[in-house]
Amino acid sequence: MMASFFDQFASPSFLGVPLIAIAIALPWVLYPTPSSRWINNRLITAQEWFINRSTNQLMTPLSVEGHKWALLLTSLMIFLITINMLGLLPYTFTPTTQLSLNMGFAVPLWLATVIIGMRNQPTVALGHLLPEGTPIPLIPVLIIIETISLFIRPLALGVRLTANLTAGHLLIQLIATAVFVLLPMMPTVAILTAVVLFLLTLLEVAVAMIQAYVFVLLLSLYLQENT
């Protein structure tokens, strides 16, 4: 029984072909293509409003140099929100519960921010490794600690997204199993448990959106340090 709880996180395959590629490509098919008309329908208008608000929220703290990342960061946030939300549907697979996928997003983007900082302002980028006013005996130790914390950033990005989504999916499955087990024996308790399951599902919808936003927001903060 315990092993079956984790079967939902196994990458599905058909005839030996992993279906994670379809799960990753599917979100882009669901969005309507913006038209050149002056007046659009409500769906496209809501989509454009959400994209504009998200882009403005992410780009406001950044310098003009960092605004070049607007398309990349906004697209990544919308992509993560979509696959996280689709993963809450029954009989679906959530690619962002795979640490390898999240690290594949986190490491290259984090490394790009570091390279930009080392290329454009190497003195400032290296200055982050040593806080101002540090006593001389503590300089080697602080440099080592700050270097380790710098390299832990992409790991924290990937693990945070994976852990939050994995924990939420496991809780939903555990409580849903409890509802089916308690229903024949204690219907009242099963109904109360089902209410808790419904509230937890609403919470997971919020978590799916918030975690995608936090992932991109932290990347924008790393970019802010290096631009």
pLDDT band at 154 (very low <50, low <70, confident <90, very high): very high
Q: Is residue 12 part of a domain?
A: no
**74, two tokens:** 């906004």
Q: What is the CA radius of gyration of the chain?
A: 22
Q: Is residue 114 part of a domain?
A: yes
Q: Is residue 5 part of a domain?
A: no
Q: Is residue 127 part of a domain?
A: yes
Q: Is residue 1 part of a domain?
A: no
Count of domains forming the chain: 1
Predicted TM-score (pTM) of this structure? 0.83
Q: What are phi and psi of 34, to 5 degrees?
A: -60, 140
Residue 16 has pLDDT above 50, yes or no: yes
Residue-wise pLDDT for 128-138, tens only, equals 777 777 787 87
Residue-wise pLDDT for 76-130, tens only, equals 998 999 889 888 888 778 888 888 889 999 999 999 998 988 888 888 777 777 7
Residue 3 has pLDDT above 80, yes or no: no
CA distances from 170 to 163, 201, 211, 214 (A): 10, 12, 17, 21
State the residue range of the domain holding 62. Answer: 19-226
Nearest C-alpha neighbor of 30 from the set 96, 81, 105: 81
Residue 27 has pLDDT above 80, yes or no: no
**125, two tokens:** 């980028």
Asked if 226 contacts 125 with a C-beta cutoff of 8 angstroms, the reply is yes
- Enumerate helices (H) and strands (E) in the chain, giving the number of each: 8, 2
> What is the reported pLDDT for 5?
63
Name 13's bridge partners: 18
Higher pLDDT, residue 52 or 129: 52
Q: Compute the average pLDDT of residues 35-39.
A: 71
Q: Is residue 142 part of a domain?
A: yes
Q: Is residue 41 part of a domain?
A: yes
**207, two tokens:** 């978590």
Q: Is residue 112 part of a domain?
A: yes
